[in-house]
Amino acid sequence: MRLHRNLCFATVDGLLLIFNEGKYADKVVQSLLKRDKRWGSRDRGFVAETTYDIVRWKRLYAEIAEVKEPFSRDDVWRMFAVWATLKGIKLPDWKYFEGTPTRKIKGRFDELSKIRKIKQSIPDWLDELGVKELGEEKWSKEIESLNQQAEVILRVNTLKTTKEKLKAELFDLDIETTEDKNYPDALILKERGNVFTTDAFKNGLFEVQDASSQLVAPFLNIQPGMRVVDTCAGAGGKTLHLASIMENKGQIIALDIYDHKLKELKRRAKRNGAHNIEPRHIESTKVIKKLYDKADAVLIDAPCSGLGVLRRNPDAKWKLQPEFLDRIRATQEEILSTYSRMVKSGGQLVYATCSILPSENQEQVNKFLKDNEEFTLVKDKKVLSYESGFDGFYMALLKRK
Ligand SMILES: C[S@@+](CC[C@H](N)C(=O)[O-])C[C@H]1O[C@@H](n2cnc3c(N)ncnc32)[C@H](O)[C@@H]1O
């Protein structure tokens, strides 16, 4: 691979914004990609993937390069040189790379790789927490898996097409996909690519959604015609899946505390041809109380640490704080206890997170079941990334007597 000056400059500019100014990696990458209209898909891919890679390996690369935060521009170039060296990319004779100690970089990599928190490039507290919650062996495997780059996975919108038809339509555009029998609506891209510019996407034939996330809506066991409440709907990834399963029959009430997310959901629902979704902004507790005992099924896709989706969101490793985790666990407990009251007698509830921590998952459910005897656990599923090959997730199906 040959390094191109303007692409490397863009990457370094982006990294400075992410590392020193706390900007979100996805937003920074989005704006970097608009920088030069002449960039082709390979150039854009380089900028996006290199930025994410260096964010993912920030601690490891900083230790190898012997630089400390806040990083100067030269420091970031040194981290860039570490990235290129470890990838086996030949460094051009630019002044930023003068005197790069290629051999020393490889030696330091081997030496530092013996320490998990540095090898896996995570803060000390996160390594301690992972061990406490999952044990040494599972945590080592899980964090290694969470540091892999995520595949691009589509969920076929069965309201508009079938998997076979969509697969053929994408194939005609040179987008090859594979299937996995455990995820009936998923198509996995063989090569990363921007699928958002295709007509198939614009016409609502699919959404981009990780395979593990695609397990949640079917877990709720719903039928067309039911009344379902999606209590933490956000921009509607799972709401849209619920709508497809329900074949547009029945009612889905989509709640969230952020109206702007529900507005995005509305736009996506229109594109998907999903007509049975009613977004309701939670402005006060009245919105919730009105729904007590009214739902056949309730989905609580709870706010969480997001530790199961680090593949997609590597900068969360640096943004998360232990105090946030304490607050989010309290919110989860509160949400589970309040929103479960929307389930009518004989109805069902799914509590789900994209976390791999038992303290956000089964421990929350166990605590809830202890205090709410009218609910029983039907089943739960702990999806670890190293076992599934996809994001880490948790889901529990409860039934109200
Ligand atoms: C894991 S995200 C949901 C993702 C979404 N279900 C999807 O599949 O795309 C959690 C959502 O909970 C919302 N949220 C946070 N606190 C809430 C609360 N007290 N009540 C309802 N929603 C809340 C957040 O705004 C966020 O959209």
How many CA atoms lie less than 13 Å away from 58 in the CB half-sphere?
23
Structure-block tokens of residue 193: 């690519």
Residues that are catalytic: 354
The reply to whether 50 and 163 lie within a common domain is: no
**Is residue 69 assigned to a domain?**
yes
Q: Report the pLDDT value the prediction gives residue 1, as an integer from 0 to 100.
A: 86
238 lines ligand 1 (CB under 6 A): yes
The C-alpha atoms of residue 54 and residue 61 are separated, in whole angstroms, by: 8
C-alpha to C-alpha distances, 398 to 21, 219, 336, nearest whole angstrom: 43, 10, 11
Q: What are the per-10-residue average pLDDT scores of the chain (401 residues)?
A: 95 97 96 93 95 98 97 97 97 94 96 98 98 98 97 98 98 97 98 93 98 98 97 98 98 98 98 98 98 98 98 95 97 98 98 98 98 98 98 98 96
The annotation status of 256 as a binding-site residue, yes or no, is yes
Listed residues 74, 100, 121: the one ending a domain? 121
**Is residue 128 assigned to a domain?**
no
234 lines ligand 1 (CB under 6 A): yes
The reply to whether 175 and 273 lie within a common domain is: no
The reply to whether 191 and 236 lie within a common domain is: no
* Number of domains within the chain: 3
The reply to whether 91 and 35 lie within a common domain is: yes
> Which of 347, 369, 363, 361 has the alpha carbon at shortest distance from 392?
361
**Is residue 40 assigned to a domain?**
yes
The annotation status of 127 as a binding-site residue, yes or no, is no
Mutate to test the pocket of ligand 1, among 208, 256, 282, 342 (most ligand atoms within 8 A of CB): 256
309 lines ligand 1 (CB under 6 A): no
DSSP conformation class of 291 = T
The reply to whether 354 and 382 lie within a common domain is: yes
Ramachandran quadrant class, 250 (left: phi over 0; alpha: psi -120 to 50; beta: rest): left
Indicate which CATH number applies to the domain containing 178: 3.30.70.1170
**Is residue 130 assigned to a domain?**
no
**Is residue 46 assigned to a domain?**
yes
**SS3 annotation, 98-166:** CCCCHHHHHHHHHHHCCCHHHHCCCCHHHHHHHHHHHCHHHHHHHHHHHCCCCCCEEEECCCCCCHHHH
The reply to whether 228 and 168 lie within a common domain is: no
Indicate which CATH number applies to the domain containing 302: 3.40.50.150
- Ligand 1 atom showing the smallest separation from residue 235 Cα: 9
**Is residue 135 assigned to a domain?**
no
Residue 329 is inside which H or E element, if any?
helix 322-339
Side chain identity at residue 245, one-letter code: I
**Is residue 147 assigned to a domain?**
no
Listed residues 208, 226, 244: the one ending a domain? 208
Residue 253 is inside which H or E element, if any?
strand 251-256
Structure-block tokens of residue 77: 């170039």
Domain that holds residue 76: 5-121
360 lines ligand 1 (CB under 6 A): no
Listed residues 178, 208, 238: the one ending a domain? 208
| Distance of CA 62 from the midpoint of ligand 1 (Å) | 34
What is the value of pTM for the model shown? 0.96
| Distance of CA 281 from the midpoint of ligand 1 (Å) | 11
The residue contributing the CA closest to ligand 1 atom 27 is: 234
**Residues 254 and 284: beta-carbon distance below 8 Å:** no
217 lines ligand 1 (CB under 6 A): no
The residue contributing the CA closest to ligand 1 atom 15 is: 303
The reply to whether 261 and 372 lie within a common domain is: yes
| Distance of CA 261 from the midpoint of ligand 1 (Å) | 9
C-alpha to C-alpha distances, 152 to 175, 177, 192, 242, 298, nearest whole angstrom: 11, 10, 6, 21, 28
The reply to whether 201 and 220 lie within a common domain is: no
**Is residue 146 assigned to a domain?**
no
Q: Report the pLDDT value the prediction gives residue 331, as an integer from 0 to 100.
A: 98
| Distance of CA 370 from the midpoint of ligand 1 (Å) | 25
The reply to whether 285 and 190 lie within a common domain is: no
The reply to whether 202 and 225 lie within a common domain is: no
The reply to whether 162 and 236 lie within a common domain is: no
The reply to whether 196 and 231 lie within a common domain is: no
The C-alpha atoms of residue 307 and residue 1 are separated, in whole angstroms, by: 33
287 lines ligand 1 (CB under 6 A): no
**What percent of the chain is helix, strand and coil (3-state, nearest 5)?**
50, 15, 35
Task: Please state whether the peptide bond connecting residue 70 to the residue before it is cis, i.e. omega within 30 degrees of 0.
Answer: yes
Structure-block tokens of residue 253: 């009430």
| Distance of CA 232 from the midpoint of ligand 1 (Å) | 4
Phi first, then psi: give them for residue 208, nearest 5 degrees. -90, 120
CB < 8 Å & 24+ apart, contacts of 314-317: 314/25, 314/52, 314/55, 314/56, 314/147, 315/18, 315/24, 315/25, 315/55, 317/56, 317/58, 317/121, 317/122, 317/123, 317/126
